[in-house]
Amino acid sequence: MAERINCFVMSGGIGSRLWPLSREDNPKQFHNLSGKGSMLVATVKRLRARKLGDAPVNLIASERHATRVGAELAGIDLGGGTPIFEPLGRNTAAAVAVAALHVLKGGNDGLALVVPSDHVIETSEQFWQTVELGVEAASAGRLVVFGIRPSQPETGYGYIEVTGKPDSAGVSDVVRFVEKPDEQTAVSYMSAGTFYWNAGIFLFRAGAMRELFAQHAPEIWNQAENALQTARSEVAGLFLPVESYAKIEPISIDYAIAEHASGIAMVPAKFRWNDLGSWQSLLEIGGADENGNVIIGDVVAIDCHNSYLRSSGRLLSAIGLDGIAVVNAGDATFVAPVDQSQNVKKIVDQLEKGGRLETRVTPTHDGVPQSGAWKDRVQHWFFNETLPLWSTVGVDDRHGGFHEALSLDGVPMVLPKRMRTMARQIYAFAVARERGWDGPADELISSGIEFISKHGRTGRGGWVRALNVDGTIADGAEDIYDHAFVLLALAHACKCGVEGAEHLGRQTLGFVDAHLAEPDGSGFRETPDDEALRRSNPHMHMLEALLAWHSTTAEQSFLDRAAAIVDLFCLKFFDADTWTLGENFDRQWQPLPGDAGLLTEPGHHFEWASLLVDFAAAAGRDEIFPFARKLYASAVANGLNRATGLAYGSVTRHGLPVDTVSRSWPQTEAIKAAIALDGIAGPDMKPEIEARVGRLFRWHIDPARSGLWIDRIDEQGRPCADQVPASIFYHMVTALTRYLDAV
């Protein structure tokens, strides 16, 4: 019986050269591009077709795609193999190290075959005939690679140069690996006859790969070993921990090992191969019609030749095209000469710089109602159900102020009254008045301000964090978060003409400057005595308050203060690589170590996005718009529960869920962000707006009693709330009034 070969399928890529079809949330390995099912399934089935010996199949895939991988492989026998999920991509060196370690884990120095998940190979029989030719060399401790004899001077592939003297099995010694050449160099490679395209397939003995890493990249091996040793084993597969895996250098196996190793062997492929690296490659394998066209989807083509025409959804019509690729993906269309289609990455790079959503998220809005479809429902719920309830039952007529929460039956709950909640209620009634509510807004605003002024001021003019129900102090800390909301409430009270609101607001701002602002201008402390933690979230709400004061007074000083916070966001809060917003920092604005520094909240991404658009419009700083788009794209791509479409509570910077409960407020902030982004250059966000309003009502509002909402929905879509927090009223008011204004 032939030696066992442990197969590993690398499935972590994005396939950006096939944009707009292939995207971060739905990369090309999950698409049916060859007519034989998804690329991933076709690869697994090919590996399981070995006839000479055992070949268990393992996957190395992104944890973000764990559910998708499970669905794709349902019913497929992996022969004892298992999926291994990476918390974040670390390129192929890490994947190969994990593969070798996985083989060695059982104490066996066996063979490992590592293959990409998204290549087309003509037949399984020819594939395995080629692989078997390399077994002897790999068993002897050599790293074996596989080369494709060039059919044209291709500039999009890496090359392998070999000696001109293969052994009896046709195996040659590798001279060197060569990066993608220019056209003239590629022509010379063709004529030399000793250059092959690099298929990206590796065969090796696990122990030999361990030695190669020890010589050339020991840190990668050590970190991968630590990650595998501490991996979490579940029914779905092995989940590598982000703490250790994130420390691995992101580098390819070619750069880390292959280009430095000696004695590498190359086997020339006996199979037809295509890496589907461009739309031209799909034209070559797609089964062209009598005019040389590949036509997929709802396409009408007249007098077209040698063209790739694909439409996902809407009708695509073309006349007189020759050698052109046209790909319509619903929200984006790509057009290029077929022989230049591999340059699509230039388009993707440009879109990425602008933070365009289309590079990361696949649209799912087929059948979404037209703009304004939810207007009547929103109008009625807000003015006829919610405001009447919270302006009566939500008000504490006995002690003053507002109730912190209502029960799911609409009964006031006996809870401490947080300053942020009191301020948010004042704000909510002020905004309702601004939008034409004919209820007792003036009385509610004035009584709310009177209550917090009487009970909630500190001796030096700040505001306490929380009060008991009767107005006595429960927590006297002077928190920047609470001061931001007091400022926001007073700005809108001032806009409503409430006497004394402006004076009180300026006093509050004076306290913030004296006791909470850093002397060097680098943001705000959590409290006057705080020396350690710094958070981005209170700064966001200070930005919100300052923009409100600028809108109320038109004073440039408020916009200047807002600009300082935005600059801090750009320099410290925002991570340009992941498009994510950090939450927790030290005094020097470095992310906190461990999980706290990796944490992000999709809801805060949405909040910042809308505020950045507001600021950019007010300040005339168009360079801020891309930050807003990137925040929104990141939150949608990495922060949503795909089963419900709702935003998670929190995820890591790399999109792994941490708090899987979906609260109501991030959904309202998603509405605000979509509305804001619809007003600047970019895609039509109206379907997105309607979809988000629909989800808010579907999951949070419609299942609740009139005027209330279900604040918490678990990962399976089940309600898990035990109260209705009054603090959420602020989010509802802001989002839904903006929706009514927009439509």
User: For 197-233, what is each residue's pLDDT tens digit?
Assistant: 888 899 999 999 999 999 999 999 999 999 999 999 9
pLDDT value of position 357: 76
Can you tell me the distance from the alpha carbon of 648 to that of 600, in angstroms, rounded to the nearest whole number? 10
Can you tell me the distance from the alpha carbon of 228 to that of 587, in angstroms, rounded to the nearest whole number? 34
pLDDT value of position 604: 98
Give residue for tokens 């078997």: 132
Q: Are the folds of 354-390+561-743 and 400-531 the same?
A: yes
Task: Calculate the CA 396 to chain-centre distance.
Answer: 42
Higher per-residue confidence, 624 vs 152:
624
How deeply is 153 buried, as exposed, middle or buried, from its count of CB atoms within 10 A (0-12, 13-18, 19+)? Answer: middle
269-283, 304-318, 319-333, 680-694: range with lowest mean pLDDT: 269-283
Q: What is the largest CA-CA distance in the chain?
A: 96
**Homologous superfamily of 5-277:** Spore Coat Polysaccharide Biosynthesis Protein SpsA; Chain A (3.90.550.10)
Q: b/e map of 476-511 (b: 16 or more CB within 10 Å)?
A: ebbbbbbbbbbbbbbbbbbbbebeebbebbeebbeb
pLDDT value of position 369: 55
Collapsed DSSP state (helix, strand, coil) of residue 586: coil
Higher per-residue confidence, 355 vs 203:
203
What pLDDT band is residue 340 in, cutting at 50, 70 and 90?
Answer: confident
Question: Quick check: 368 pLDDT over 90?
Answer: no
What pLDDT band is residue 122 in, cutting at 50, 70 and 90?
Answer: confident
State the pairing for strand pair 265-268/144-148: parallel
Question: Does the predicted model carry a pTM greater than 0.85?
Answer: no
* CATH class of segment(s) 400-531: mainly alpha
Bridge partners, residue 120, by sequence: 274
Model confidence pLDDT, tens digit, residues 462-511: 999 999 999 999 999 999 999 999 999 999 999 999 999 999 999 999 99
Question: Quick check: 422 pLDDT over 90?
Answer: yes
The H or E element containing residue 119 is none
Of 432, 472, 434, 479, the residue nearest 456 (C-alpha): 472
Rounded mean pLDDT, 671-700: 91
* H runs (alpha helix) in 157-245: 183-192, 206-216, 218-229, 242-245
Q: Which residue type sits at 661?
A: V
Question: Quick check: 723 pLDDT over 80?
Answer: yes
The H or E element containing residue 286 is none
Quickly list DSSP for 447-501: HHHHHHHHHSB-TTS-B-SEE-TTS-EEE----HHHHHHHHHHHHHHHHTT-TTH
Of 86, 90, 77, 66, the residue nearest 7 (C-alpha): 77
pLDDT value of position 455: 97
CATH number among 2.40.50.140, 1.50.10.10, 3.60.15.10, 3.50.90.10, domain 354-390+561-743 = 1.50.10.10
Higher per-residue confidence, 343 vs 376:
376
Structural Rg of the chain based on CA atoms = 30
Question: Quick check: 640 pLDDT over 80?
Answer: yes
Of 521, 485, 519, the residue nearest 505 (C-alpha): 485
Ranges of each domain in the chain: 5-277, 282-343, 354-390+561-743, 400-531
Q: Which residue type sits at 360?
A: R
Q: Which residue type sits at 353?
A: K
What pLDDT band is residue 74 in, cutting at 50, 70 and 90?
Answer: confident
Question: Quick check: 367 pLDDT over 70?
Answer: no
Higher per-residue confidence, 340 vs 581:
581
What pLDDT band is residue 599 in, cutting at 50, 70 and 90?
Answer: very high
Record the tokens describing residue 76, joined without a space.
Answer: 């497929």
Can you tell me the distance from the alpha carbon of 380 to that of 704, in angstroms, rounded to the nearest whole number? 15
Bridge partners, residue 575, by sequence: 580
Q: Which residue type sits at 125?
A: E
pLDDT value of position 549: 98
Can you tell me the distance from the alpha carbon of 416 to that of 467, in angstroms, rounded to the nearest whole number? 6
Query: What is the percent of the chain where pLDDT is above 70?
Result: 98
Higher per-residue confidence, 245 vs 363:
245
Can you tell me the distance from the alpha carbon of 525 to that of 516, in angstroms, rounded to the nearest whole number? 5
**8 Å CB contact between 199 and 147:** yes
What pLDDT band is residue 518 in, cutting at 50, 70 and 90?
Answer: very high
332-341, 344-353, 360-369: range with lowest mean pLDDT: 360-369
The H or E element containing residue 328 is strand 324-328
Higher per-residue confidence, 371 vs 471:
471
Question: Quick check: 119 pLDDT over 70?
Answer: yes
Rounded mean pLDDT, 414-443: 97
| List of residues 6+ apart from 702 with CB closer than 8 A | none
